[in-house]
Structure 1
Amino acid sequence: MLDVRRLRLLRDLARLGTIAAVAQAHAYTPSAVSQQLAALQREAGVPLLEHTGRSVTLTPAATALVGHTETILAALEAASATLAAARTGLSGAVRIGAFPSAVPILLPAALVALGRDHPGLDLMVTELDPVDMPDALRDGRLDVALWHDYDIAPVEPDPGVDSVPLLDEKVFLAVPAERPEGTIASTRDADWIVGTPGTLCHTVAMRVCQAAGFTAGVRHHADDFTAVLALVAAGQGVALVPELGATHPPADVRLVPLDVHRRTRIAYRRGAAEHPVIAACVRALESSTTAYLARTGGGAHPVGAPHHRHVTT
């Protein structure tokens, strides 16, 4: 019988690439990970790892086993959902991840509704960049997450994560009110304010400028859109800001709509869609988003059907 915990380590080795990275992700020593993978290889009865110097690669059999592991882990999530549905009332810790611009706008009403309707839930919010959310969901550090990508920088499908679409926002070019820029191409010689390298916002800014035929001249790095807009208002450069990040722009900032969109999803581990806690979170977040759009009448709009589930793309 194959040990599920060891299968999870093999899956993470395929994802992370090194035993050291797997050890760090699980708070193990590299030696302990190696021992567990060796035990899994004995259970499998076929070679799973190939060692070349200090590096290790998966054999074709191991790669196939990783695919089965994703199915096994999803089945375990579904089994947990079935058991949870048989209990009376919802209780326990719920770890919710959200990107910064969603926290003050979409989360509060959802948290109030969840606390009112399910007082047994212990709700905990973590602010996280979208690039870190798949790992946090797979590792169990999050149970549900508000996760986004952009049409110009789509997220690759993750076999361990399912999601339901929530919101589609327009992205704006934010410029000082007195400057004449009205297109991305016109900012070729402007200073740019972009996110920290490695964040999705940084990637999007770079790609938008590359698509217009130039490399952004970065002057400032800032991840909070309030700070970004304050820098734009101070004449420090131009920036990209999605609709949720531009709800109260300074008077000295002009927002130019672009043909670029940010797409938000509610994400969770594959197989967990029918878990009553996950379903309650999805309903609360959908309701809070609908209420926000009704109040603001902005260009953002909800997407997807409330009960449609799909692997995120």
Structure 2
Amino acid sequence: MLDVRKLRLLRDLADRGTIAAVAAAHNYTPSAVSQQLAALEREAGAALLARTGRGVTLTPAGAVLAAHAEEVFAALERATAALAATRTGLTGPLRIGAFPTAMRTLLPTALATLAREHPGLDLTVDELDPALVPARLRDGSLDVALVHDYDLVPIAPDPALETAPLLDETMYLAATRPLDLAACRDERWILAGPGTLCHTMTIRACEAEGFLPRARHHADDFVTVLTLVAAGQGVAVVPELALRPPSSPSAAAAAAPSSPSDPAPVGPSGPGAAPVAPAGVVLTPLRTRRRTRFAYRAGTGAHPSIAAFTAAVRAA
């Protein structure tokens, strides 16, 4: 019988690439990780690792076992979720991750609802870039997260995770006068930080119009971005949620999707008021869209705490 804890180390080695990285993630020493993986090889009756200089790689047998590990972990998560469903009341920690605009517009009302309806839940929230979420879900330091990607910058599926759609947003060009994207070839731009999804999305949207944007400023906070636009410092691309007021409990009755599996549209084509530009800023809708999803470990979507969270956010 294969030991699940050792199997998790093998899976993490496939994800992280080095024994040192796996050791750091689990607060083990590299020697302890190596010993556990050697024990797993004995249990499997096959060589799972091959030495390559100072490092190791997975053998074909190791790669097969690591791939099947995801099915094992998902089954365990489903069993845990089913067991939790037999208990009365929701208790214990629920660790949530979210990106900044979701923190401002979606979570306050949802957290207030959860605290009122399920006082036994211990809610904690980390604000972080969606690119950091998969690793945090896999290592168990998050239980559920709000993530986003763009139709121009899709994120590859992760076999360790599952997602459910929440909403699709219109992206807007923000400037001090009416402009379309093609007319911004010679404008100065306010871009998100290099390496972020928003930065990559803006680059690709401009490339589709035949030019590269010339960056004057870099800012990741959309309130700052819009303030700089209003000050005549450049043009920028911003999402719908950046143009919404902060969430409040009175907004809990805002429109939700007709089916839990259908994303709710926002913006002029969806429910709710049209986005409001700050004074001095003109908004032009673009073709590109941002898609927000729930993300959680495979098999945990039916866990009562996660189901309660997703329901509260949809209501918000």
Instruction: Provide the secondary structure at the position in 1 that maps to 2:77.
Output: helix
Equivalent position of 1:115 in the other structure? 115
1:20 and 1:193, CA in 2 relative to 1: closer, same or farther beyond 3 A?
A: farther
Are 1:257 and 2:255 matched, yes or no? no
- Deviation of 1:235 (Å): 1.4
Structure 2 partner of 1:89 = 89
- CA RMSD of superposed structures (Å): 1.4
Match of 1:186 in 2: 183
**Residue in 1 aligned with 2:30?**
30
1:205-252 residue CA offsets vs partner (Å, 9 max, x unmatched): 222122222222122111110011111111111111000012253211
Partner of 1:40: 40
2:71 is paired with a residue of what secondary structure? helix
The structure 1 residue matched to 2:214, chosen from 213, 217, 222, is: 217
Distance 1:186 1:55, change over 3 A: farther
Secondary structure of 2:292 counterpart: strand
Residue 88 of structure 1: SS of its match in structure 2? coil
Aligned match of 1:293: none
**Partner Cα separation in structure 2 for residue 189 and residue 281 of structure 1:** 45
Among candidates 206, 227, 230, match of residue 227 of structure 2: 230
Q: Which amino acid aligns with 2:145?
A: A
Equivalent of residue 241 in structure 2, options 241, 244, 255: 244
Alignment of 1:96-107 (within 5 A): 96-107=96-107
Which residue in 1 is equivalent to 2:311?
A: 283
Which amino acid is the alignment partner of residue 13 of structure 2? L
Give unmatched runs, 5+ long, in structure 2. Answer: 245-275
Pick the aligned partner of 1:205 from 195, 202, 205.
202
Shift of 1:183: 2.3
Q: CA deviation at 1:56?
A: 2.0
SS of 1:133's equivalent in the other structure is helix
TM-score (norm. length: structure 1): 0.87
2:256 corresponds to: none
Provide, for residues 7-30 of structure 1, a one-character-per-residue CA deviation record: whole Å limited to 9, x for no partner: 111112211222222223223333
1:200 deviates by 1.3
Which letter maps to 2:41?
Answer: Q
Q: Aligned letter for 2:232? A: G
Partner residue of 2:301 out of 255, 273, 277: 273
Q: Which residue of 2 aligns with 1:301?
A: none
- The structural deviation recorded for 1:172 is 0.6
Residues in 2 aligned to 1:42 and 1:266: alpha-carbon distance in whole angstroms: 39
Distance 1:198 1:27 in 2: 28
Aligned partner letter, 1:194 = L
Deviation at 1:256, TM superposition (A): 0.9
Partners of 1:32 and 1:191 in 2: how far apart?
A: 53
Q: Relative to structure 1, is the Cα distance of residues 35 and 86 closer, same or farther in structure 2, using a 3 angstrom cutoff?
A: same
> Mean alpha-carbon deviation: is it higher for 216-225 or for 98-107?
216-225
Q: Distance in 2 between matches of 1:191 and 1:50?
A: 51
Identify which range, 204-213 or 57-66, moves more after superposition.
204-213
Q: Percent identity?
A: 62
Name the CA shift for 1:83/1:244 in 2 (closer, same or farther; >3 Å).
same
1:196 to 1:26, Cα distance in 2 relative to 1, 3 A: farther
What aligned pairs does 1:153-192 form with structure 2 within 5 A after superposition?
153-177=153-177, 182-192=179-189
**Which runs of at least 4 in structure 1 moved beyond 4 Å after TM superposition?**
none
Structure 1 pair 20–195 and aligned structure 2 pair: CA distance change class (3 A) = farther
Deviation at 1:268, TM superposition (A): 1.1
Structure 1 spans left out of the alignment, 5+ residues: 289-313
Name the residue aligned to 1:303.
Answer: none
Q: Which amino acid aligns with 1:189?
A: D
Query: For the residues of structure 2 that align with 1:210 and 1:138, how far apart are their CA atoms?
Result: 34
Quote the residue 2:260 is aligned against.
Answer: none
